Structure 1
Amino acid sequence: MDCGSGVMNKLPSETRVEALSGVILSHLHYDHMADLGVLQYAAAGAIRNGRMKEKLKLYAPDAPVDILHSLFSEHTKVIPIDPSTKVRLAGADIEFVHVEHTITCYAIKISYKGKVLVYSGDTSYCDALIELARDADIFLCEATICEGSVHTTGQGHMNALQAGMIAGQANVKQLVLVHLPGDGNLEFMRHEASRTFHGPVDIPEPLRMYTMIHRIGRNGYSCIDCLLLIWMGPC
């Protein structure tokens, strides 16, 4: 999900580009797609040397149209998404809800064998996100606004208190704060989220792994099949 600056620098240590079933962009702002050209270049190389047999699938909002058209390449299959789009990738069911940002943006819900991951994308507080995140195992929620930060004017974004409110109202199991300001007090933001959400609140480090095991073996937890999130780093 998303392909911001620095993703491709970390990706080779985790998986090769040909192992990707697809890439989903929440919206077409460059902080969420800065490394996409590098990814397309890697896909081109994988296709040329035979490691990759098909074009890389890229799911992206259908607006702004000029930016969407710039994503087309001979090695990428661009698939526009809207709220009615349903996607199945690697056995996971994926759906989208329109959220409140300065351009077309979608929150993303991934369901896999009873486990649910929801990513807010960039958004201000909205009821649609609460419904999408209902009972999610992990909720990645943006918290861009922080007092004293010069990162954003606040339009189309939330603070940590609001992220916690949505997590609490949606009854999620774990909240992960993302899209954080580089000049923000992260521990203060964690505390703010905890005022309105009483479950675990995490601020991820790059390459942090979250495993949602759906099956328990006889000898305790057995990761026979799971939904795994690897946090690649900030936008």
Structure 2
Amino acid sequence: PEGTEHRLTTAYADTPTASSMSEVFDFHTVKPSTFEVGPFTVHTERVAHPVEAYAIRVEHGGRSLTYSGDTGVTPVLDELAHDTDLFLCEAAFTHGKENIPDLHLNGREAGESAARAGARHLVLTHIPPWTDPAVNLADAREAYAGAVEVATAGAVYEI
């Protein structure tokens, strides 16, 4: 999003300069769009979140991966994830516990989004330590009949 370089420079540089981060990283402002990166087609859409946030879909060779980013429930996410092979979807909240609109999804909402989108495989991610992943997994499975699991360090997914 707009201003990312400045925010990162301010947060992480001991003695920030205007080019502290750009000496190491190549920054590009993301907007809702479609663009090419090497052999990949990338689609970005703004999602429901208090600060500017985007979901991303990457396609190549007729296969796709969709990543929700931080979001609340939104039809934009369902549309972007339509018929995706792998849906990496955040599920930070617990159904029935946190109910803060347009901030994060819970496991049930992630499952519902995957079901509406017709995703083939759902992987729940962005689950904080105070949220029980087993509860979110069970909630996602109630809403989504496809393959679903919780992201784990080192996992590999073939698309």
Taking structure 2 as the reference length, the TM-score comes to 0.84
Secondary structure of the equivalent of 2:136?
Answer: helix
Cα distance in 2 for residues equivalent to 1:64 and 1:186: 30
Whose RCO is larger (CA < 8 A, sep 6+)? 2
Q: How far apart are residue 130 of structure 1 and its match?
A: 0.5
Q: How far apart are residue 188 of structure 1 and its match?
A: 1.8
1:175-186 correspondence to structure 2 within 5 Å: 175-186=122-133
What is the identity, as a one-letter code, of the residue corresponding to 1:83?
Answer: P
Is residue 112 of structure 2 the alignment partner of residue 165 of structure 1? yes
Q: Which runs of 5+ in 2 are unaligned?
A: 11-19
Q: Which of 107, 114, 119 is the aligned partner of 2:62?
A: 114
Cα distance in 2 for residues equivalent to 1:181 and 1:69: 25
Q: What residue in structure 1 maps to residue 47 of structure 2?
A: 99
Secondary structure of the equivalent of 1:209?
Answer: coil
Q: What residue in structure 2 maps to residue 190 of structure 1?
A: 137
Decide whether aligned partners of structure 1 residues 73 and 146 sit closer, same or farther in structure 2, where only a CA change above 3 A counts: same
Total equivalences in the alignment: 149
Q: What residue in structure 1 maps to residue 26 of structure 2?
A: 77
Query: Can you list the C-alpha shifts for 1:28-78, whole angstroms capped at 9, x where unaligned?
Result: xxxxxxxxxxxxxxxxxxxxxxxxxxxxxxxxx114684267574223221
Is the contact made by 2:90 and 2:127 (CA closer than 8 Å) also made in structure 1? yes
Cα distance in 1 for residues equivalent to 2:3 and 2:113: 26
Is residue 93 of structure 2 the alignment partner of residue 145 of structure 1? yes
Q: What residue in structure 2 maps to residue 201 of structure 1?
A: 148
Is residue 2 of structure 2 the alignment partner of residue 62 of structure 1? yes
Cα distance in 1 for residues equivalent to 2:26 and 2:132: 40
What is the identity, as a one-letter code, of the residue corresponding to 1:106?
Answer: Y
What is the identity, as a one-letter code, of the residue corresponding to 2:157?
Answer: Y
Q: Which runs of 5+ in 1 are unaligned?
A: 1-60, 213-235
Is the contact made by 2:137 and 2:149 (CA closer than 8 Å) also made in structure 1? yes
Highest Rg: 1 or 2? 1
Q: What residue in structure 2 maps to residue 220 of structure 1?
A: none
Is the contact made by 2:94 and 2:135 (CA closer than 8 Å) also made in structure 1? no
What is the identity, as a one-letter code, of the residue corresponding to 1:132?
Answer: L
Is the contact made by 2:42 and 2:59 (CA closer than 8 Å) also made in structure 1? yes
Query: Can you list the C-alpha shifts for 1:144-171, whole angstroms capped at 9, x where unaligned?
Result: 111697xx77351111111111000000
What is the identity, as a one-letter code, of the residue corresponding to 2:2?
Answer: D
Q: What residue in structure 1 maps to residue 13 of structure 2?
A: none
| % same residue | 30
CA RMSD of aligned residues (A): 2.2
Secondary structure of the equivalent of 1:116?
Answer: strand
Taking structure 1 as the reference length, the TM-score comes to 0.58
